[in-house]
Amino acid sequence: MNTATAPEMEIPAVVGSEELDRREAVSETVGDITHPDPVFTCRNVTVWYGDKPGVQDVSIDIGRHEVLAMIGPSGCGKSTFLRCLNRMNDTIEGARVEGTLELDGQDIYDPALFVEELRTRVGMVFQKPNPFPKSIYDNVAYGPRLHGMTRSKADLDDLVRESLEKAALWNEVKDRLDEPGTGLSGGQQQRLCIARAIAVKPEVILMDEPASALDPIATAKIEELIDELRENYTIVIVTHSMQQAARVSQRTAYFHMGRLVEVGPTTEIFTRPRHQLTEDYITGRFG
């Protein structure tokens, strides 16, 4: 079709739209990638899996105490980019990260930086709830114990309670803290994982499709929770549900085929998308 018009383009014509300006999609992200008070500053981030790129040339700021939603068709690199932010990509054999990622002005890929420290500052909640096969209490207490955050058993008890309360789970589990975390329902397990992440007092919480394995009621609870957590934490959430992104986030980033296509305030992205690809995605023409 129009292969001749764009020789340097790497995005194949998934979209049947003729009038698409794909040149822009490759070179530039549409919208304002900056934020006046950034926690994370990411510039030209490219992740290679072997010689195959997972994401390419992503630049974006993540603002303090905002909820940033990352949306896009599956395989577009949302998880890959998210994992850069707490260096979980380090654990993947053959993964290589290029570009700069700064947390409060500090390069997080600086070899002198302790990755353990980064991960206490940037917590993560995974797609599938993954509580340890230990008691509810031990799940939450694991991080604080690991980092020696409390002086006494009473302190630890308080921290566990506080974390479970923040994760809106305390009332459901306060009488059975000794029971295994794996015995909870899926939604409760995910909130337990959030409590576990909160317990180490992170500044940023990364969530990779935290509700994708949950039923609608549990999902609603998680969304409510995210809204409350925003007061104290910066949250980056990957989701495949546009409604969810619209409900919980202030800013939205749309990824496509490893590229960050468009960033903007959530309301604008969903009402007045500027890029053709974004529009196609949110109007449900593909994805």
Ligand X SMILES: Nc1ncnc2c1ncn2[C@@H]1O[C@H](COP(=O)(O)OP(=O)(O)O)[C@@H](O)[C@H]1O
User: Which lies closer to ligand X via its Cβ, residue 75 or residue 183?
Assistant: 75
Of 76, 136, 206, 277, the residue at the interface with ligand X (CB under 6 A) is: 76
Q: Which of residues 90-109 bind ligand X (CB under 6 A)?
A: 92
Partner whose binding site includes residue 92, from Mg ion, other proteins, ligand X, none (CB under 5 to 8 Å by kind): ligand X
Name the minimum Å distance from CB 210 to ligand X. 13
Residue whose beta carbon is closest to Mg ion: 79
Strand-pairing partners, residue 262, are 30, 254
User: What single-letter DSSP state applies at residue 24?
Assistant: H
Name the minimum Å distance from CB 200 to other proteins. 6
Name the segment binding ligand X (CB under 6 A); options: 32-40, 74-82, 151-159, 192-200: 74-82
Q: Per-residue x/- marks for ligand X, 18-57, CB under 6 A?
A: -------------------------------x----x---
Residues at the contact surface with other proteins, assessed by CB under 8 A = 86, 88, 91, 93, 116-117, 119-120, 123-124, 126, 128, 130-133, 142-143, 146-147, 193, 196-197, 200
User: Which lies closer to Mg ion via its Cβ, residue 58 or residue 177?
Assistant: 58
Partner whose binding site includes residue 76, from ligand X, other proteins, Mg ion, none (CB under 5 to 8 Å by kind): ligand X
- Number of Cβ within 10 Å of residue 284's Cβ equals 8
Residues at the contact surface with Mg ion, assessed by CB under 5 A = 79
Classified as helix, coil or strand, 227 is: helix
At 99, which helix (H) or strand (E)?
A: strand 95-103
CB 255 within 8 A of CB 244: no
User: Which lies closer to ligand X via its Cβ, residue 78 or residue 191?
Assistant: 78
User: Which lies closer to other proteins via its Cβ, residue 78 or residue 259?
Assistant: 78
In three-state form (DSSP H/G/I as H, E/B as E, the rest C), the secondary structure along 157-224 is HHHHHHHHHHCCCHHHHCCCCCCEHHHCCHHHHHHHHHHHHHHCCCCEEEEECCCCCCCHHHHHHHHH
Partner whose binding site includes residue 143, from other proteins, Mg ion, ligand X, none (CB under 5 to 8 Å by kind): other proteins
Dihedral, CA of residue 147, residue 68, residue 81 and residue 117, to nearest 10: -20
Partner whose binding site includes residue 88, from Mg ion, other proteins, ligand X, none (CB under 5 to 8 Å by kind): other proteins
Partner whose binding site includes residue 241, from other proteins, Mg ion, ligand X, none (CB under 5 to 8 Å by kind): none
Contacts of 136 (CB under 8 A, 6+ apart): 164, 173, 176, 177, 178, 179, 180, 181, 184, 192
Partner whose binding site includes residue 69, from Mg ion, ligand X, other proteins, none (CB under 5 to 8 Å by kind): none
User: Which lies closer to other proteins via its Cβ, residue 31 or residue 131?
Assistant: 131
Classified as helix, coil or strand, 15 is: coil
The sheet with strand 38-49 has its strands ordered as 52-63, 38-49, 95-103, 106-107
Name the minimum Å distance from CB 260 to ligand X. 12
Which chain residues interact with ligand X by CB under 6 A?
Answer: 49, 54, 72, 74-80, 92
